[in-house]
Structure 1
Amino acid sequence: MFGDVTASERRVVAIAFGLTCLAGALRWIDAGPILVFATSTIALAAIAYLIGEATNQLGNHLGASATGMIQSALGNLPEVFVCIFALRAGSVEVVQAALVGSILATAVLILGVALMVGSERHGLLKFESRTPRMISVLLMLAVSALVLPTLAHELHLPAAQHQQELAVVCAIALLLVFALSTRVMLRDGERKVPPEARARSNVWPMGLAVLLLAICGVATVLLADWFIEALKPASERLGISEAFAGLVIVAIASNTVGIVEIRLAFQGKADLAVSVALNGALQVAVAVIPFLVLVSFVFFGDTPFTLAIPPIMAIALTLAVLVVTLVCVDGRADVVDGAALVGLYILIAAIFWWG
């Protein structure tokens, strides 16, 4: 079963599960929240990367559309469990920051780095603009589902008295759009992650990929629990806000699969790099966020997750989507475009360093 796994892949697996065991041991001996927090974060990043690799390997055994569906379900697994445990702990601010941060990390930071790397090596990057334009429209819809409830709350409109009901309505609307986009994907061929992005020189047995995904799922549940448990005391000792931890640390740790986009851009496959990056952000915006709203409504009624986010988050997200749209709308990008995206991400992260 393990014959087709390369030595480097075995090392990644060993490191990921070794870090998971280390995080569990540190928590068991009560080594302190900072050590548990740091180890859990790194382990989450490694597990997220493994989930991405195992899902990609399934693409060698399943159809493109079927694999796209699996990736939609599993690609954000670490982040979903972190958010669920945060909701259970009543840390709604962490959930809001983590979800907004995931969109920013994927569509702004990772895409920016990918454009810089690709353009530095290949000059002006050219890519098909129809798909990025479509995704930008859907991202603006998702941003509207966050901005409008926020405005209703800040302006004290009558709808502000029904935040949870409004969040459920927005969640259902977004999920319907997600279902429609999935139907289009199945009809016209996969749009979420093109098959070329999954291509691997070595093919794992299907049983190994499924087994690894199952083990990663269990590890994710444990790590998410330990991470949230250590988050608040570690943040206080390190002098960082929980908002920054969610917006930056959780988001980046959960998006280590973004290395794929950077590698594709380095290879000159700008179409694939842009498509994968924007689709990753779209999955969070139109699938993960509404899913968590409904989970909160059903299971965590005492601490509901509404879509009335802090105004600065709404503004930052709106600006980010507008800048990404401007960068991608003409199907051309260079180092300056990538640097602008990275610079915007740094500005937003700096705002949340203090809370």
Structure 2
Amino acid sequence: MIGAGQKWAILLVVVTVTVAGVLHSSEAGPVLVFAAAVVALAGIAYVIGEATNQLGNHLSAAATGIIQSALGNLPELFVCVFALRAGSVEVVQAALIGSILATAVLILGAAIIAGSVRYGVLKFASRTPRMIAVLLMLAVSALVLPTVAYELHLPAGQHKAQLAVACAIVLLLVFAVSTWAMLQDGQRGVPAEARKRPHIWPLWLAASILGIGAVATVLVSDWFVQALNPAILRLGISPSFAGMVVVALASNTVGVVEIRLALQGKIDLAVSVALNGALQVAIVLIPALILISHFFIGGTSLTLAIPPIMAVAVGLSVLVVTLVCVDGRADIVDGVALVGLYFLIAAIFWWG
């Protein structure tokens, strides 16, 4: 059942969510509410990651990687939905691009560094990372081409909303086919070493905690977004940097799971979770938010015509990630290069 450390983690999440709720209800200062919501989101993301990691005792590595990545994006989904309702399209675009960069560049780089320090050169199956890299390039194309069409004033650029909906449908169809292929290619059954691990949660417990975590995510995301713009103004942070770095990192703190997996020597699963996280933002979360904003929210719709510098940043990042993962080997230099690239991009957006 639940270990002592896991119980303390869940208790701390309950406390942080409660504190964030009290501060929100009492209309405390926006910076304080924002900080409390960030901490609560981080805790929720950690518990969701732990519960999903427990599913690895009952599912294949491929299925666990996909589910873990999808549930890890729950905070991002709800934060973006509430931000779109508030009309913060610029922040949402930056947060989505930042989420791809945080997962595929920063978190993967940190996991590689952690694993390399402990085990030296890391070796992992390259077929799935290569497939994910191809799909990420497709997603980048869906971002770059509408941006180019809009910036060059091509006829398609005058129909941003319709073009975004068409691209969203294509990306979701590609995701459905690729998910089926990854599940077919993944290992089946419960790994033998999983049965020997202590504090294994039964399936019903992991599912229950995931459900409670999803509900808590909805509540805290709403508080987070309500405090976001006032906190940005108070702190003097540009909306682009707030979305690209602050919101993206606050919604992706589940990345500690990838680092822990790398330290445990499970580099295949760590790479799968990190790359699947970025992939699902690119070809599931972004298309889903486009359709939600276009058909359900109203007002300004989310489109794929992003600032050119964002398109360049995400394109170069996916290219570097592909070069790192394509041969199934990585070392500390690869990890440092990825982390360094992330901080270079973050520095560019500090001024907006």
TM-score, normalized by length of structure 1? 0.92
2:42 is matched with which residue?
A: 45
Is residue 226 of structure 2 the alignment partner of residue 229 of structure 1? Answer: yes
Is residue 298 of structure 2 the alignment partner of residue 301 of structure 1? Answer: yes
Q: Name which of 252, 258, 262 aligns with 2:249.
A: 252
Deviation at 1:68, TM superposition (A): 5.8
Is residue 23 of structure 2 the alignment partner of residue 26 of structure 1? Answer: yes
**Structure 2: which amino acid aligns with 1:235?**
I
CA contact under 8 A between 2:143 and 2:305: conserved in structure 1? yes
Q: Name which of 152, 156, 163 aligns with 2:153.
A: 156
Is residue 72 of structure 2 the alignment partner of residue 75 of structure 1? Answer: yes
Q: Name which of 335, 345, 349 aligns with 2:346.
A: 349
Looking at structure 2, the residues matched to 115 and 162 of structure 1 have their Cα atoms a distance apart, in angstroms, of 42
Q: Name which of 196, 203, 206 aligns with 1:206.
A: 203
Looking at structure 1, the residues matched to 108 and 56 of structure 2 have their Cα atoms a distance apart, in angstroms, of 23
Looking at structure 1, the residues matched to 98 and 330 of structure 2 have their Cα atoms a distance apart, in angstroms, of 23
Spell out the pairing of 1:101-180 with structure 2 (5 A cutoff).
101-180=98-177
1:15 is matched with which residue?
A: 12
Is residue 86 of structure 2 the alignment partner of residue 99 of structure 1? Answer: no
The one-character-per-residue Cα deviations of 1:65-107 (angstroms, maximum 9, x if unpaired) are: 7656644543311110000000100111111111111111111
Looking at structure 1, the residues matched to 335 and 61 of structure 2 have their Cα atoms a distance apart, in angstroms, of 29
Deviation at 1:128, TM superposition (A): 2.4
Q: Which moved more, 1:226-235 or 1:238-247?
A: 238-247
Q: Name the Cα RMSD after superposition.
A: 2.2
Deviation at 1:190, TM superposition (A): 5.7
Q: Which moved more, 1:228-237 or 1:202-211?
A: 202-211
Deviation at 1:210, TM superposition (A): 2.7
**Structure 2: which amino acid aligns with 1:87?**
L
Q: Which moved more, 1:15-24 or 1:251-260?
A: 251-260
Spell out the pairing of 1:306-321 with structure 2 (5 A cutoff).
306-321=303-318
- Runs of at least 5 residues in structure 2 that lack an aligned partner in the other structure: none
Q: Percent identity?
A: 69
CA contact under 8 A between 1:98 and 1:247: conserved in structure 2? yes
CA contact under 8 A between 1:56 and 1:198: conserved in structure 2? no
CA contact under 8 A between 2:13 and 2:43: conserved in structure 1? yes
Spell out the pairing of 1:191-202 with structure 2 (5 A cutoff).
201-202=198-199
Deviation at 1:118, TM superposition (A): 1.6
Distance verdict in 2 for CA 1:66–1:314, change over 3 Å: closer
Distance verdict in 2 for CA 1:186–1:116, change over 3 Å: closer
Looking at structure 1, the residues matched to 284 and 153 of structure 2 have their Cα atoms a distance apart, in angstroms, of 28
The one-character-per-residue Cα deviations of 1:28-72 (angstroms, maximum 9, x if unpaired) are: 111100000000011001101111222232443456676566445
CA contact under 8 A between 2:66 and 2:273: conserved in structure 1? no
1:280 is matched with which residue?
A: 277
Is residue 267 of structure 2 the alignment partner of residue 270 of structure 1? Answer: yes
CA contact under 8 A between 1:57 and 1:198: conserved in structure 2? no
**Structure 1: which amino acid aligns with 2:36?**
T
CA contact under 8 A between 1:136 and 1:321: conserved in structure 2? yes
Spell out the pairing of 1:61-72 with structure 2 (5 A cutoff).
61=58, 70-71=67-68
Looking at structure 2, the residues matched to 198 and 46 of structure 1 have their Cα atoms a distance apart, in angstroms, of 25
**Structure 2: which amino acid aligns with 1:292?**
L
Deviation at 1:321, TM superposition (A): 0.5
**Structure 2: which amino acid aligns with 1:93?**
E
CA contact under 8 A between 2:65 and 2:269: conserved in structure 1? no
The one-character-per-residue Cα deviations of 1:185-227 (angstroms, maximum 9, x if unpaired) are: 3333369xx9699885312233332332222122111111111
Q: Name which of 63, 83, 88 aligns with 1:86.
A: 83
Distance verdict in 2 for CA 1:198–1:352, change over 3 Å: farther
